[in-house]
Structures are given as structure tokens and as C-alpha cells.
A and B are shown apart, each in its own frame.
Chain A
């Protein structure tokens, strides 16, 4: 964007902040994509998109993958990727179901799920950092490992979650408190706020950026890049446990194969949200918006009467387009 003409011309030698475009260009792009997409849906399926039902529906379904996409943003900023979180989601929810069906109180079950998520995340982080294996490869391995463990543990059978003892946690996680909007939507906003603080206002967050930007520089200046990566993976693990419980309570049943379709949704949300595929830059707010755009595509395609198989086509196009856009923008910034 060119210099605004009304702006006072800076003295030849005065430090100037980065231009509006450079600062917010990426966010601007994401929001524009979202709005254009929404307008397209309103025009093609006005009956659905002018009534609140469809918005209430995707406020209930989108959080399940958004909750994992938000911490995944941190992993991607460090220059890594995690493909195993849907399996962590299943395995940690299984830990919840097994603990509770064994007679333990609900909160013990929740702790078991979170601990399982944390442990799985650390295993990913440990394998990536200790052996210097590309995370793309090692998390394909742990994806099968975690899911396999869960299936063996449950023997492939699920668990019913309609018992009255679940009333409180059910209300808390997936109740409809304000305006009939699902609580998981508020939880997602809360998670975005917390992780925004972690990323932008904590030492750890600063080190996430530095690690992904230039690992050697960060190490030369005393940043423990391996610890940063391990904790980033651990965060994805913990949030996968939460997403798993929310997803299960939303349908009042623990499906052993849950999480199957969520991998691409979360990853698409991160890249659509403007987080760099090369590491070093990214925002959790971008991921949040990206997740709801992906959610809207899901809902919109069905509502617009398009064959649901086309969702895949849309996702593919969205991911490719956003990644190409990033490459173009980052090349322009460097020049």
C-alpha cells in the first residue's frame, strides 16, 4: 500500500513504523477471504444463511477442531508440525472414559485425560528434539501408535455418556448458556485469549517465535529451543484432550474412532489463518478466524445444496491458495 497522502511526511531520517499493509496485510487478507466466502454463501443459500440456526450449528461443531488448531499454531511457528493430535484426542478421551467407568470421580477422569494429552504431546516433542527427526515423519508414527493403543484399550467399543453423573461436566463443556450458543464456543474464545497471552506476552511465546525464525541464532543467544518445542507439542496434547471431551459430550457418546476427519480442518485453519509454513510468524487470532471460515465452508456447502464431496475440493483450494499467498507476501516483505 502506498504512503497515505494526508500523512505528514516524515523527515528524511526519522524512524518510521512498519506500514499498515505490512503489519496487518495478512490479517486483512484472512478477514477478506472470510467475508467474501460468507457473502457467497448468503447469495447461494439465503434461506439458510439469513437464519441463526446455521450459525448456532457451527458455533457448536467448529470449536472441536479450532481448540486444537489454536495451540497447533505455536508448533507451526516453531517450524514443526503435529499430525498426531486427532489420535491424542481419542486416546486421552479414552483415558477419561476408562477412569470414570472404573468408578473414579469425574474430575479424576478429567485429570487423567489431561495428563494423557500432556504425556502424548511430550512424547512427540521428545522424539522430535532428542533425535532431530522431522516432526512431519515422527508424528505420522505416533498418530498410528496413539490410535492403535486406544483401539486396543477399548477393543474398538465406545462408551455411553448419558449417565446423570455427567450432568455437570456436560453442562459446563457443551451446555447452551448465553443466547443458545454452545459453551464450547466460549471456551474456544477463552482458549484463544489465553494462548494469545502466552504467545505475545510471555518469555516462552517470544522464544516460540525466535526458535522458528532462526534456531541457531536463538541458541547462540541462550534460548533453549528444544524445551520450547517440547512444550509447544505438550500444549497441543492438552488441548486435544479438552477437544476430545467436548466432542464426546456434544454427542453424549465416546466414539473410539473420533477425530478422524479433524486433522485437515485444523491444519487448514492454521495456514488459512496466516501462520507461516516456514515458521517464525503467525497469530492465534488468525487461526481462530481461519477455523470459523473452515467451519463455514463445511456448513455452507451442505446448506447451498452442493454435493458434500466438494468440501474436500474447497479445502484443498483454500489450503493451496493461502499458502501461495503467504509465499508471495513474505517475498514482498523481504524485498
Chain B
């Protein structure tokens, strides 16, 4: 497979909720080994785009999702995950009364050859991942503890670890650093770099341009559901990017004249 073949490609994807058009005619592609930053105001449609890529939202008629050069017709979250797309959702998608291990393996449980859950393996892995990956060692981080007893950052750690440990080809991170401490934020940003180093791809959403700009290869700006612009990092400095983000918010245009 050459690197020109996108991992995922959206063609004319729109999403309407009743009267609200959250995405309109979005076209984008993510290539292997590429980290793409997704920028845009609150309500621009970033999370909706993520959930559409994941198959949680079905695009309006006419929109197409292609995975590695193949048009996907029966898209669903289970299918997206089995093909190798994992997401850290903005709302974290945890089941708080359930123990950590069940959250970690939600929807992708480990079963033995008789189809029975291998609870022991899941608990052992969950413990190892939480302490080695995130360095979480507090009292609450025992695999049998319900997620609701953990701190906010630890809960997020569960969601982050969960998305990373399946070695997905495409990892989507929707504001992963919000609420994390300085050192956990740094770890999360390192994870993004590791994704790139191992030749996999990521979509990275964060309102902090100081997180996005150093981490990514390319940036896509969403505005009111439309792709307002795309930049390679070489085409724009951080200051210019900040300037144009303000302009988009004000006028809906990226560049000064049009």
C-alpha cells in the first residue's frame, strides 16, 4: 500500500439533526503516518465529525466514508473499531458504575476459545496499562474499582489508555488534555508523537494551539460545519494560525480578502 492511499476519506459528508446542520459537505482525507489537527470554534462540528467517522452518527444521504480505498456501506462503531480506528471521545464514554477493567475493554472484551470472558487477563492488563502508560498509582486505580470513585484526570486516563492500547491505525483524540495535570498532558502529547513514529495516523482536536501546532503535520479548520481551510505546517507559522483563527471566528473567512 503506498502512502497516497488515505486511511480514511470522507466525501461530501453532511450531518443534520432536525433543523441543525452540524456538518455540511465535508471532504477530507487522512494519510498513513500523518497527524492532523482539527481546529474550530465551540460548536463548529468537530465532535460531530469524529462521531460520524466512528459510525456513531450516520451521514446524511450522499455522504461517503472510504477506508483504505474501499467504500464502506455498513459503517458502525463496532466495524470502525475492528478495522483499527479508536477514539478518545470528548465525553470520555465511560460507564461509571462498572469496574475499570470492564471500561477498558468495553466493546472489545477478551474471550477465551470457548467464548467466555477472560476476566483475569483483562484485570491484569488494565492494572499494567494504568500504571505503566499513565503512571496512575492512586488508591482508586485498582481494576475492580468502579470508575466513579476515580478523580477526573484518572477517568480520562482510562479513556486515553483504552484508545491507545489496541494499537489502532487511526487514533482520534477529541480534546484529550482538558483537565489533565501538566505531566499527564505531556504524556498525552508524547503518545501522539509515538503514534506518528510507529507509522500510524491520528486526528487531534484541542483548543490549545500550543498543543496542536507542535504535534501535527497538517491542520484542518472547521467553521460552522464547513471545512474553512487546510494548512500544511510548513505553510503557516503559529502566529499566523492564531491570527486566522480569530478571523474565522469573526468573519467566517480564513484569509483577509475573500
Contacts and interface: CB of A to CB of B under 8 A. Distances in A.
Interface of A: 10, 13-18, 23, 197, 200-203, 205-207, 209-210, 213-214, 216-224, 276, 280-281, 333-334
A207 B105 CA distance: 11
B97 A222 contact: no
Contacts of B95: 209-210, 213-214, 217-218, 280
Contact of A18 (B51, B97, B142): B142
Nearest to B111: A203
Nearest to B105: A206
A206 B109 CA distance: 8
Contact of B98 (A15, A200, A209, A216): A209
Interface in B143-195: 144-146, 148-149
A333 B139 contact: no
A194 to B, nearest CB: 13
A201 B106 contact: no
A157 B77 CA distance: 51
Interface string B45-65: 000000100101000000000
Interface in B114-161: 115-117, 119, 127, 130-131, 137-142, 144-146, 148-149
Interface of B: 51, 54, 56, 76-78, 80-81, 87, 89, 91-98, 102, 105-109, 111, 115-117, 119, 127, 130-131, 137-142, 144-146, 148-149
B67 to A, nearest CB: 15
A159 B110 CA distance: 49
Given A10-B139, A203-B111, A210-B102, 8 more contacts: A14-B137, A17-B144, A201-B119, A206-B117, A217-B95, A220-B91, A221-B93, A280-B97
Interface of chain B, main secondary structure: loop
Contacts of B127: 15
B137 A209 contact: no
Contact of B97 (A200, A207, A218, A281): A281
Contacts of B80: 222
23 contacts: A14-B137, A15-B130, A15-B137, A16-B139, A16-B142, A197-B116, A202-B116, A203-B111, A205-B117, A206-B109, A209-B95, A209-B98, A209-B102, A210-B95, A210-B98, A210-B106, A214-B93, A216-B93, A217-B94, A217-B106, A220-B51, A220-B56, A281-B97
A10 B138 CA distance: 11
Contacts, number: 108
A222 B142 contact: no
A226 to B, nearest CB: 12
Nearest to A279: B97
B56 A13 contact: no
Q: Please provide the 4 A-B residue pairs with the shortest distance between their CB atoms, ordered closest to farther.
A: A222-B77, A213-B95, A222-B78, A222-B107
A203 B138 contact: no
A15 B116 contact: no
Output the residue of A206, A207, A276, A334 with the most chain B CB within 10 A: A206
A202 to B, nearest CB: 6
Nearest to B95: A213
Contacts of A276: 97
A265 to B, nearest CB: 27
Contacts of A210: 95, 98, 102, 106-107
Nearest to B94: A217
Given A15-B141, A16-B139, A218 B119 contact: no
